[in-house]
């Protein structure tokens, strides 16, 4: 029989990465081995937890199809709420594509729980940039919590970035809600571990047994095998274009925790009295189910990319956070870039190694909600999705690039290598 295909292997066009960068990559990977094994163990525990929640809640083929109109009795939507509640250890959950972002979900949680005359206290210093306007720290007359008579106070972090337990005791006494940000966000403080969150919950509830603890869980889901509700928090909130959506959910957010508080949040998202009963799922259910199903594995890939970034950037003499030996509480690696040029070269290099929009050059811009210019490398399937490899950097001292995500380790690793190559090409990196 005649030869029907060409037996020669297809010629692959490789990445043009300097030999010295490739050697650094090899060295970095060698020192990651133990931590990679630990990440795989956590992914397995979490993967089993997710599978069990699917089985226990009888996720069915019918759950994958959506509804239109009011969405009364949407079995896919209601079952997904129950699946999330079980996975995260809550009584109930609200998982909706209608949340436009993590900030929106957090806003619903705060407005859902707080009332005029109440006090909100942040236990972890300044909250994430976009929440400043929501709370009313910046801006006036926009309908912020402050405009509605909710007062705000914050417990500053100690000089080493750790929470100030003594001060928490003082400031939590007369507050209705204690707010905790698990991830480092755009700052160099350490992310909180779940055990660290448990200490804060204990301190706040010790001072005031009636206080509600709300945790901004962004970037923290599945990093450990426990979640903050299991550390005593009352509500957790996150974004579906981060960890729990696995790059598959197209948009959305979630809130999980106590039944009563979740209902109050649902009243804020839709209408008082209607809450969780309305809201059609359109065609979003399947991607949200697949997202949470894949999330433990995808978070593991993002964590491997993060640990690799930490190692190789340290080998190139850039200061990185988390610091050596620090236990991870989120998927972020912050890299101090020394100057603006290096920061921009790094971010543009990450973009060059991305699966989508690799040919696009990201530029610094005035992003809504942020008070300095931000450059964002995000060559992602879902716009702005940061469980996909992305590097964000506010253009301000200390010129830190916040690197996170990576749907697969192969692509995440290569994104970092193209960034190093870009820095080298622009004389922002010396190689020996």
Ligand X SMILES: *Cc1c(COP(=O)(O)O)cnc(C)c1O
Binding interface with ligand X (CB under 6 A): 101-103, 128, 130, 181, 183, 185, 216, 218-219, 239
By beta-carbon proximity to ligand X, the closer residue of 288 and 429 is 288
Compute the least distance from the CB of residue 179 to ligand X, in Å.
Answer: 11
Compute the least distance from the CB of residue 266 to ligand X, in Å.
Answer: 19
**What are the CA-CA distances from residue 247 to residues 256, 263, 292, 382, 385 (Å)?**
20, 27, 10, 7, 7
> What is the rounded distance in angstroms from the CA atom of residue 57 to the CA atom of residue 398?
47
Residues in the chain: 432
Compute the least distance from the CB of residue 153 to ligand X, in Å.
Answer: 19
Using Cβ positions, the residue closest to ligand X within the complex turns out to be 102
The C-alpha angle with vertex 394 and arms to 22 and 248, in degrees rounded to 5, equals 65
By beta-carbon proximity to ligand X, the closer residue of 169 and 381 is 381
Other C-beta atoms within 10 Å of 403: how many? 31
Compute the least distance from the CB of residue 216 to ligand X, in Å.
Answer: 5
By beta-carbon proximity to ligand X, the closer residue of 85 and 218 is 218
Compute the least distance from the CB of residue 422 to ligand X, in Å.
Answer: 25
Tokens matching residue 139: 């801006």
By beta-carbon proximity to ligand X, the closer residue of 130 and 342 is 130
By beta-carbon proximity to ligand X, the closer residue of 101 and 301 is 101
Compute the least distance from the CB of residue 213 to ligand X, in Å.
Answer: 16
**What are the CA-CA distances from residue 225 to residues 222, 342, 407 (Å)?**
6, 36, 19
By beta-carbon proximity to ligand X, the closer residue of 301 and 385 is 385
Cβ proximity of 79 and 58 under 8 Å: yes
Compute the least distance from the CB of residue 220 to ligand X, in Å.
Answer: 8
By beta-carbon proximity to ligand X, the closer residue of 154 and 418 is 154
> What is the rounded distance in angstroms from the CA atom of residue 341 to the CA atom of residue 399?
10
The C-alpha angle with vertex 339 and arms to 138 and 137, in degrees rounded to 5, equals 5
Cβ proximity of 391 and 397 under 8 Å: no
Instruction: Give me the phi and psi of 393, to 5 degrees please.
Output: -150, 115
């Amino acid at each position: 029989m005649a030869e029907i295909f060409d037996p020669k292997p297809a010629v692959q066009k490789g990445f043009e990465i300097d030999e010295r960068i490739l050697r650094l990559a090899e060295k970095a990977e060698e020192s990651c081995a133990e931590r990679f094994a630990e990440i795989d163990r956590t992914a397995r525990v979490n993967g089993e937890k997710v599978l069990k929640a699917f089985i226990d809640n009888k996720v069915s083929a019918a759950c994958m199809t959506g509804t239109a109109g009011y969405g009364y009795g949407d079995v896919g939507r209601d079952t997904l709420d129950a699946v999330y509640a079980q996975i995260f250890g809550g009584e109930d959950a609200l998982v909706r594509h209608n949340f436009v972002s993590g900030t929106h979900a957090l806003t619903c949680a705060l407005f859902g729980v707080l009332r005029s005359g109440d006090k909100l206290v942040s236990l972890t210093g300044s909250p994430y940039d976009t929440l400043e306007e929501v709370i009313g720290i910046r801006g006036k007359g926009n309908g912020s919590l402050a405009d509605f008579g909710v007062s705000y106070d914050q417990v500053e972090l100690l000089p080493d970035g750790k929470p100030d337990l003594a001060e928490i005791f003082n400031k939590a006494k007369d507050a209705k809600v204690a707010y905790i940000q698990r991830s480092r966000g755009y700052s160099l403080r350490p992310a909180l571990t779940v055990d660290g969150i448990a200490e804060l919950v204990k301190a706040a509830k010790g001072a005031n047994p009636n206080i509600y603890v709300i945790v901004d869980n962004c970037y923290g889901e599945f990093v450990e095998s426990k979640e903050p509700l299991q550390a005593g928090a009352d509500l957790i909130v996150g974004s579906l274009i981060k960890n729990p959506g696995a790059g598959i959910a197209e948009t959305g957010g979630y809130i999980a925790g106590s039944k009563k508080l979740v209902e109050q949040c649902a009243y804020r998202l839709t209408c008082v009295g209607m809450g969780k009963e309305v809201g059609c799922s359109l065609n979003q259910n399947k991607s949200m189910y697949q997202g949470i199903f894949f999330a433990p594995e995808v978070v593991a890939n993002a964590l491997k990319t993060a640990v690799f970034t930490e190692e190789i950037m340290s080998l190139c003499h850039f200061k990185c956070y988390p610091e050596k030996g620090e236990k991870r509480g989120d998927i972020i690696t912050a890299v101090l870039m020394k100057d603006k040029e290096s920061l921009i070269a790094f971010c543009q290099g990450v973009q060059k190694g991305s699966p989508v929009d690799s040919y696009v050059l990201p530029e610094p811009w005035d992003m809504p909600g942020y008070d300095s210019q931000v450059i964002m490398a995000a060559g992602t399937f879902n716009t702005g999705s940061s469980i996909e490899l992305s590097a964000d950097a506010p253009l301000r001292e200390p010129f830190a690039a916040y690197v996170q995500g990576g749907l697969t380790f192969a692509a995440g690793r290569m994104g970092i290598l193209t960034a190093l190559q870009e820095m080298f090409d622009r004389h922002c990196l010396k190689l020996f």
